[in-house]
Amino acid sequence: MIAVKRVVVKLIIAQLDFLVGDIEGNSKKIISACKKARDQQAQLIVFPELALTGYPPEDLLLRPELYQRCDVTLQNIIDAVKDIDVVLGYPKQTEKGLLNIAGVIQSGSITHEYAKQTLPNYKVFDEKRYFVEGEQACIAIIAGIPMGITICEDIWVDQPVTQAVKAGAKCIININASPFHIHKSQQRQQVVEDHARLSDIPVVYANLVGGQDELVFDGESFVVDEKGNVVRRAPAFEEDLFGVTLEWDQQRVTVPAQECADLLDENESIYRALVTGVRDYVHKNGFKGAVIGLSGGIDSALTLAIAVDALGAEHVEAISMPSRYTSAMSIDDAKQECRNLGIECELVSIESAFNAFLELLDPLFKGLPVDATEENIQARCRGILLMAISNKKRKMVLTTGNKSEMAVGYATLYGDMAGGFAVLKDVLKTRVYALSNWRNAQSNVIPQRVIDRPPSAELASDQKDSDSLPDYAILDPILQRYIERDQGAAEMIAAGFDEQIVSRIMHMVDITEYKRRQAPPGVRVTERAFGRDRRYPVTSGFRYGRQ
Run of H or E including 211: strand 209-212
Non-local (6+) Cβ contacts of 240 within 8 A are 15, 234
For residues 448, 453, 455, 457, the Cα torsion angle rounded to the nearest 10 degrees is -90
49 belongs to the catalytic site: yes
Q: Which of 34, 138, 152, 345 is catalytic?
A: 152
Task: Quickly list DSSP for 489-513.
Answer: HHHHHHTT--HHHHHHHHHHHHHTH
CB 47 within 8 A of CB 14: yes
Nearest to 255 by CA among 86, 8, 87: 8
CB 130 within 8 A of CB 61: yes
- Distance in angstroms (rounded) separating the CA atoms of residues 344 and 317: 7
Strand pairing report for 209-212 and 7-15:
unpaired
Distances 501 to 125, 402, 475 between C-alpha atoms, Å: 33, 20, 9
The DSSP bridge partners found for residue 101 are 90, 115
Q: Which of 29, 34, 49, 220 is catalytic?
A: 49
Nearest to 525 by CA among 181, 184, 212: 181
Q: Which of 116, 395, 403, 429 is catalytic?
A: 116
Distances 229 to 122, 145, 194, 260 between C-alpha atoms, Å: 30, 20, 10, 11
The DSSP bridge partners found for residue 206 are 175
57 phi and psi angles, rounded to 5 deg: -75, -15
Task: Quickly list DSSP for 387-434.
Answer: HHHHHHHTEEEEE---HHHHHHT-S-TTTTT-SSEETTTT--HHHHHH
Strand pairing report for 230-233 and 222-224:
antiparallel
The DSSP bridge partners found for residue 115 are 101
Non-local (6+) Cβ contacts of 355 within 8 A are none
3-class state of residue 180 by DSSP:
coil
The dihedral region occupied by 144, where left means phi > 0, alpha psi between -120 and 50, and beta the remainder, is left
Nearest to 376 by CA among 326, 323, 414: 414
Strand pairing report for 203-207 and 222-224:
antiparallel
Q: Which residues are catalytic?
A: 49, 116, 152
